[in-house]
Amino acid sequence: MDRTDASQQHSSSAPKSDDNSWVVAHTAAGAYRTAVTVGGHTFTADEPLNVGGTNTGPTPYDYLLGALGACTAMTIHMYAARKAWPLDDVIVRVHNARSYAADCENCEAQPVGIGRIERQIDLSGSLTDDQRQRLLAIADRCPVKQTFERGLQIVAVAAR
């Protein structure tokens, strides 16, 4: 994996700092630790120590799975709230067996990425069996899940 600082390679295409529609990831040369900024929020992505990271944050795959878990929980909660159903708590667990570091090492020679995600959903509250089943069905309407299943195209945009 080339650890060159991407912001130096593509500095002319970097979004303006006042443009909140972009998610910006910035890392220094030779490091995996990455600051990610979106809409005034900043968080850290990193790799574990055993693959050369500093373990100061979740991996990119962890954030990908977190997005699915969060969207699933929010979708279920939003639906239950609209219906005024007695949903107390939603816990979504997601899991994959991929290694981001291994994928990075092999990305030039073979297709990489998550091929399957396992998801568990726990619902708490005085829900009927029908409500419970409906909420589990609504979980599949989560926009992030639908995006994963449809696939998406990532394109390079022209420098500004």
SS (H, E, C) 15-60: CCCCCCCCCEEEECCCCCCEEEEECCEEEEECCCHHHCCCCCCCCH
Summary mean pLDDT of the chain = 84
Q: How many domains does the chain have?
A: 2
- pLDDT per position as a tens digit, 91-102: 999 998 666 667
> How far apart are alpha carbons 5 and 10 in whole angstroms?
9
Check whether residue 133 and residue 86 sit in a common domain.
yes
- pLDDT per position as a tens digit, 21-41: 889 999 987 789 999 999 999
Check whether residue 73 and residue 118 sit in a common domain.
yes
Q: What is the pLDDT of residue 160?
A: 58
- pLDDT per position as a tens digit, 117-154: 899 999 999 999 999 999 999 999 999 999 999 988 88
Q: Degrees (nearest 5) of the Cα angle 8, 5, 1?
A: 140
Check whether residue 44 and residue 70 sit in a common domain.
no
Check whether residue 83 and residue 108 sit in a common domain.
yes
Check whether residue 43 and residue 85 sit in a common domain.
no
Could you tell me the CATH number of the domain that includes residue 134?
Answer: 3.30.300.20
Range of the domain at 120: 60-150
pTM, rounded to two decimals? 0.78
Check whether residue 14 and residue 86 sit in a common domain.
no
Residue 66 lies in a domain: yes
Q: What is the pLDDT of residue 44?
A: 95
- Quick check: 137 and 63 in contact, CB under 8 A? no
Check whether residue 127 and residue 105 sit in a common domain.
yes
- Mean pLDDT is lowest, of 4-8, 78-82, 112-116, for 4-8
Check whether residue 75 and residue 108 sit in a common domain.
yes
Q: What is the pLDDT of residue 31?
A: 84
